[in-house]
Amino acid sequence: MTQYTTVFGSLDDYAKGGVEVIDDDPKYYAFSNMFEVAGRAAPYEKVAVAKNLEYVLEVIRAEGTDEWRAAPHDEFALVMDGTLQVELIDPDDGLVDSEAQGSVALASEPAGSRMGRVTAGPGHMALLPAGKAYRLHSDGVAVVLLQTIEGPDTVHRWAEICQTV
């Protein structure tokens, strides 16, 4: 019986894969490496690495403390490397338009009830609930894959991050 070993990558140690196109045009395929994207990103920049209609997967390099954010829909943060803390507040007032898409930065910490803090490591997923305020923090550097809806802060770098040949 053949044995396989699963190797979990990190920002400091990953193997970049690729797409082998047999009888097609590589422009029909998107392939990038989240650790490579995070290694080139500014802290808390939301770089899209996958897209399906309005939904995106964004890679975030979590380093230090981000600003407070809120979204009118649930978001899911999957920690791929490092340790991430998520602070959550249930705001006294609505923070974002219910028709908005993606998360938006808040001017300051909103008034409201503290909901708690999530500490997540590699492989852990945290729910960022609709309408609640959240702030991400990492004492070191963490890599986060965020499932969300494309918004005003989503950064597109397809030409830089995707394999084309």
Domains and CATH numbers, the chain: 26-161 (2.60.120.10)
Cα separation, 104 vs 102, in Å, equals 7
User: What 3-state DSSP class applies to 161?
Assistant: helix
pLDDT surpasses 90 at 14? no
pLDDT surpasses 60 at 161? yes
State how far the alpha carbon of 46 is from the alpha carbons of 23, 57, 126, in Å.
Answer: 33, 9, 17
Give pLDDT tens digits for 103-133. 999 999 999 999 999 999 999 999 999 999 9
Q: How far is CA 163 from the centre of its chain?
A: 20
Give pLDDT tens digits for 76-98. 999 999 999 999 999 999 888 88
Q: Which of 18, 15, 10, 32 is nearest to 160 (CA)?
A: 32
User: What 3-state DSSP class applies to 26?
Assistant: helix
State how far the alpha carbon of 75 is from the alpha carbons of 3, 35, 92, 101, 124, in Å.
Answer: 36, 20, 20, 11, 14
pLDDT mean over 53-65: 95
State how far the alpha carbon of 138 is from the alpha carbons of 12, 22, 142, in Å.
Answer: 16, 42, 6
Residue 100 near residue 72 (C-beta atoms within 8 A): yes
Whole-prediction pTM value?
Answer: 0.85
Question: Residue 30 belongs to what H/E stretch?
Answer: none
